[in-house]
């Protein structure tokens, strides 16, 4: 009788390219394919270890010169909205939320283009065409939803979030919103509403992607109470942001081989035995 052992996922490293968060730095990513019957379990497990999903790939920063990018999530039980966040909730209380299957539409793409042109015209997604946008939305081997937000009077789309449903939370893969409505604070509202979605579905966390000390682009995440960051293999409550500045220094991360060795698979076993 033959017994087939489960195949461990294979991990690879991207070539270095300019970092979008810290000027003068180069970024590199550790990644693996997300496919097959075990895709949902693998995504659940690796999301807890600082990985993020992009279509059929799971990745985590693995830069040679720093370890600044820290996966961040909101502990829903510990979250309390600030005064300004309460005002944001009130301003958008009539906005209509629609959660649908991951299906791209022309209205979504039009909003996406306006958002990029206003906020990220020089970013890596600036040249994304309709086919690439559809792939971003629709190519998901796991449980994914598109959460749309619409104006209560006109029904026009004002914001969209591509959201994965994990076994312990919701993961905000990518969001965009109407750049012509700055007073609505829609970017903040989408996060606040995902905290509410997590509460409604009895899930303990909202995964926000990466927080980077010293990056103005990521500063908004530290404004949310209950924030946790993934540091050195464990989640911890966010301390003073200045406490994490050392992670931007060279040689502050582990070698690639050690990083891979310390990844746990869905069944709890490490990818390969650790050496003492």
Specify the pLDDT at position 165.
98
Helix (H) or strand (E) holding 237: strand 234-237
Question: Which is more confident, 245 or 165?
Answer: 165
Inform me whether the pLDDT recorded for 96 exceeds 90.
yes
For the chain, helix, strand, coil in percent to 5 are: 30, 25, 45
Cβ contacts of residue 200 below 8 Å, gap of 6+? none
Indicate the domain borders of the chain. 12-70+245-261, 73-243
Specify the pLDDT at position 274.
39
Task: Give the residue carrying structure tokens 């979250």.
Answer: 79
Q: Which CATH class is domain 73-243?
A: alpha beta
The proportion of the chain whose per-residue pLDDT surpasses 90, expressed as a percent, equals: 69
Highest mean pLDDT pick, 33-42, 60-69, 76-85, 250-259? 76-85
Write a three-state SS string for 62-114. Answer: CCCCCCCCEEEEEEHHHCCCCHHHHHHHHHCCCCEEEEECCCCCHHHHHHHHH
pTM of the model: 0.90
Q: From CA 75, how far away is CA 204, in angstroms rounded? A: 6
Specify the pLDDT at position 245.
83
The region of weakest confidence among 51-65, 149-163, 262-276 is 262-276
Q: From CA 82, how far away is CA 97, in angstroms rounded? A: 22
Specify the pLDDT at position 70.
94
Inform me whether the pLDDT recorded for 2 exceeds 60.
no
Inform me whether the pLDDT recorded for 7 exceeds 50.
yes
Q: Are 33 and 54 in contact (CB under 8 A)?
A: no
First-to-last alpha carbon distance for the chain, in angstroms, is 35
> What is the chain's alpha carbon radius of gyration, rounded to the nearest angstrom?
19
Determine the average pLDDT of the residues in 99-115: 96
């Amino acid at each position: 009788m033959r017994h087939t052992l489960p195949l461990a996922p294979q991990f690879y490293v991207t070539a270095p390219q300019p970092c979008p968060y810290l000027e003068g730095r180069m970024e590199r990513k550790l990644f693996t394919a997300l496919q097959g019957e075990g895709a949902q379990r693998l995504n659940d497990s690796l999301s807890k270890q600082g990985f993020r999903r992009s279509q059929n790939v799971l990745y985590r920063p693995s830069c040679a010169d720093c370890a600044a990018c820290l996966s961040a999530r909101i502990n829903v039980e510990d979250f309390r909205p600030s005064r300004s966040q309460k005002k944001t909730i009130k301003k958008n209380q009539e906005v209509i939320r629609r959660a649908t299957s991951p299906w791209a539409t022309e209205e979504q793409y039009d909003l996406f283009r306006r958002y990029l042109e206003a906020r990220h015209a020089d970013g890596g997604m600036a040249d994304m065409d309709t086919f690439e946008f559809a792939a971003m939305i629709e190519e998901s081997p796991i449980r994914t939803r598109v959460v749309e937000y619409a104006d209560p009077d006109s029904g026009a789309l004002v914001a969209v979030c591509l959201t994965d449903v994990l076994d312990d939370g919701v993961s905000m893969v990518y969001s965009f919103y109407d750049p012509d409505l700055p007073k609505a604070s829609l970017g903040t509202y989408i996060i606040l509403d995902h905290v509410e979605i997590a509460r409604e579905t009895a899930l303990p966390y909202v995964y926000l992607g990466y927080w980077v000390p010293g990056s103005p682009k990521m500063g908004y995440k530290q404004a949310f109470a209950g924030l946790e960051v993934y540091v050195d293999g464990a989640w911890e409550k966010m301390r003073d942001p200045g406490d994490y500045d050392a992670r931007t220094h060279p040689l502050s991360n582990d070698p690639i081989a050690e990083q891979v060795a310390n990844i746990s698979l869905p069944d709890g076993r490490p990818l390969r035995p650790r050496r003492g």
